[in-house]
Structure 1
């Protein structure tokens, strides 16, 4: 084999290895990607039925029901509501009328089954995407009222 052919084979092998590594990294990234949805977006059918995603909003007052380690509550963005169930220990900051982000899936009946619940740590802070979603839901709710 001539040196020119060896060099070409080395370059082709390097490019192929780089392509395979890139494909594996992108595949891992895609499978770990978790999107954020509001109750209004879930009600509109924008949330995936077969993938894990996050829901965010405020815990509706009077909606928290506890039974052993299973907790059921309602997340609202002031326009729509989504029922959530979670089995486990909730964060200390979890309270009614406070912000919450839950990660999980929708079951067949439309109930959000959370695998993780995160409580907002400060009453003055909300993630920008959550704040934008709540503001948009409130604006939509105001325009729909007669």
Structure 2
């Protein structure tokens, strides 16, 4: 990730916006979520296999805990993705389908995100119906994503 000042300098507001672009999770977070999810899955399946031979209740409990953790991490990995669809004039995500015409303002700023208190750039979107949507920039091609949104929103896009 670039430092915030360098990140701001690379943003262009004059890009041609057309078509559809997909943005997936950055490599560091992919490795983190899959790197813990897959070993937990294997450990959980192994614990359940051990339970089948030993019939000890603690083996199946530990197995289900590992399986729960692994499914949670794999779900996080599979559910992240943002699509900018300029043909239909929409921003689509797992939970949000937002038309660009419904955006009152969009602000790029640094904010503390997550439990670790790490500061990272976010897009703070406010719609005309007063919904506030915060999009943490933890995807690949962050500069391109912000540049496309800024090019589409023009005067409604603010850098803080």
TM-score over 0.5 for the pair: no
Q: Which has the larger radius of gyration?
A: 1
The structure, 1 or 2, with the larger RCO (C-alpha pairs under 8 Å, 6+ apart) is 2
TM superposition score normalised by structure 1: 0.30
